[in-house]
């Protein structure tokens, strides 16, 4: 490691997180797409995460502002993308996410479904699948936004069942509707629209839409890497590989196209930042945040040691590695929170960050409760501390 490399300290990394992830009050976003772009994309596996992650980064606006971005302005869209996970990204970034990641997932999904159809032995093939997809799109054009159940009622082909693992101990019959709908979504020919129920529901309606404009895959990966470095740098090649789910070759090619600068870290290691992004980061005002499970600020790196004490990890993550609801103080995870059945927001600090932190967290918990307005949110992925707080 060369001593000539610029040093970015742990404190500065936390300053960057507060400002660039728009968590410090003075840095909060004016729009939902801005909030998503600040962290490249918002995790969307759990419907509530998109709303709660946006809330923490918005200067103002309630759940209706996020709904408007998702379902009216279409400034924010959900795509099956990084790590084969659902993300909500700005419409401006969506073509790059689609070309860099979603296209490969869609191709893999199609190969898998065609393989299942062939193994079923009923003569269902690519021609049958194309006809089923076309019928589903026609039904959406005729009926308007529809759930999977409604689409299956309108399209006989979607009621078809196939046998998986024929002749084996794991033989099972399954319907094709979910798989065909997932494939159409992965291909960008349908998108998730307003769900049945409240904004916490995942029972989405689907609408017919046009695929995203084509972007060369290498160019798209470079753009994603550039934006990711702006949001998460200093970071490593391993961090980017983990976050994207790309092959190591694609990660290295994308980084080479960006041409990142190298910096030193407090622990003696080196990391990457966007070209020219080596200057000091001024400290924002003191800030607290209550972030939901799977929030990008907790999931953006493979190595999270600069903002999370490893001793706290068992309480805040489930066994699959999903982070639960977290309490932050000045760029560091200092505890966890939950919502009880009656709507009360409860939290616990893991350590002793001080009275100023406790007062700020109390105020932020009150802001969250007001924003929820009585809506009850339960994380899809339950963690030990979250379960304990609601018990």
The string of pLDDT tens digits covering residues 304-327 is: 999 999 999 999 999 999 999 999
- Widest CA span of the chain, in angstroms? 69
Give the position of tokens 């339960």: 378
Q: State yes or no: pLDDT of 349 exceeds 50.
A: yes
The tokens for 143 are 């009926």
The tokens for 177 are 């509707």
The tokens for 30 are 């004016």
Asked whether the beta carbons of 94 and 80 are under 8 A apart, the reply is no
* Distance between CA atoms of residues 297 and 178, nearest Å: 31
Q: What is the pLDDT of residues 239-290, one digit of tens each?
A: 999 999 999 999 999 999 999 999 999 999 999 999 999 999 889 999 999 9
* Distance between CA atoms of residues 56 and 301, nearest Å: 19
Q: What is the pLDDT of residues 191-204, one digit of tens each?
A: 999 999 999 999 99
The tokens for 149 are 């159940």
Q: What is the pLDDT of residues 65-112, one digit of tens each?
A: 999 999 999 999 999 999 999 999 999 999 999 999 999 999 999 999
The gap between the terminal CA atoms of the chain, to the nearest Å, is 49
CA 294 to chain centre: 7
The tokens for 304 are 């999270």
19: nearest Cα among 275, 211, 282? 282
Beta bridge partners of 357: none
Q: What are phi and psi of 175, to 5 degrees?
A: -80, 160
The tokens for 361 are 């967290």
365: nearest Cα among 382, 383, 346? 346
When the pLDDT of each residue in the chain is averaged and rounded to a whole number, the result is 95
Give the model's pLDDT for residue 147: 96
CA 283 → CA 12, 114, 147, 228, distances in Å?
Answer: 7, 54, 47, 21
Q: How many other CB atoms sit within 10 Å of the CB of residue 258?
A: 19
Asked whether the beta carbons of 22 and 35 are under 8 A apart, the reply is yes
- What are the chain's domains? 98-208 (1.10.10), 288-390 (no CATH)
Using only C-alpha atoms, what is the Rg of the chain?
22
CA 283 to chain centre: 27
Q: Specify whether the backbone of 321 is left (phi greater than 0), alpha (psi in -120 to 50) or beta.
A: left
pTM for the model: 0.95
Confidence of residue 2 (pLDDT cuts 50, 70, 90): low
């Amino acid at each position: 490691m060369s001593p000539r490399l610029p040093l970015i300290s742990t404190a500065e990394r936390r300053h960057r997180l507060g400002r660039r992830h728009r968590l410090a009050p003075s840095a909060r976003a004016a729009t939902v797409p801005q909030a998503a772009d600040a962290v490249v994309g918002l995790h969307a596996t759990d419907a509530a995460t998109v709303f709660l992650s946006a809330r923490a980064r918005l200067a103002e606006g309630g759940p209706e502002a996020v709904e408007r971005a998702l379902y009216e302005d279409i400034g924010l869209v959900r795509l099956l993308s990084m790590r084969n996970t659902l993300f909500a990204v700005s419409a401006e970034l969506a073509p790059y996410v689609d070309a860099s990641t979603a296209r490969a997932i869609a191709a893999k999904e199609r190969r898998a479904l065609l393989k299942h159809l062939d193994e079923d032995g009923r003569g269902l093939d690519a021609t049958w699948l194309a006809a089923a997809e076309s019928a589903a799109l026609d039904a959406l054009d005729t009926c308007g936004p529809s759930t999977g159940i409604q689409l299956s009622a309108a399209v006989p082909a979607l009621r078809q069942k196939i046998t998986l693992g024929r002749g084996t101990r794991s033989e099972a019959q399954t319907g094709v509707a979910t798989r065909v709908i997932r494939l159409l979504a992965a291909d960008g020919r349908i998108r998730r629209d307003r769900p049945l129920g409240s904004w916490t529901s995942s029972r989405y309606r689907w609408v017919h839409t046009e695929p995203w404009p084509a972007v060369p895959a290498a160019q798209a990966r470079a753009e994603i890497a550039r934006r990711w470095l702006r949001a998460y740098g200093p970071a490593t090649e391993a961090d980017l590989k983990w976050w994207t789910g790309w092959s190591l070759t694609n990660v290295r090619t994308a980084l080479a196209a960006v041409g990142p600068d190298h910096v030193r870290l407090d622990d003696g290691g080196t990391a990457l930042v966007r070209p020219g992004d080596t200057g000091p980061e001024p400290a924002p005002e003191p800030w607290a945040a209550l972030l939901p499970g799977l929030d990008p600020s907790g999931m953006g790196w493979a190595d999270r040691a600069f903002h999370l004490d490893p001793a706290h990890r068992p309480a805040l993550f489930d066994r699959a590695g999903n982070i639960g609801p977290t309490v932050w103080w000045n760029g560091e995870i200092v505890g966890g929170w939950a919502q009880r059945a009656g709507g009360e927001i409860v939290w616990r600090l893991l350590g002793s960050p001080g009275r100023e932190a406790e007062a700020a967290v109390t105020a932020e918990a009150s802001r969250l409760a007001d924003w929820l307005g009585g809506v009850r949110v339960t994380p899809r992925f339950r963690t030990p501390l979250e379960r304990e707080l609601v018990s």
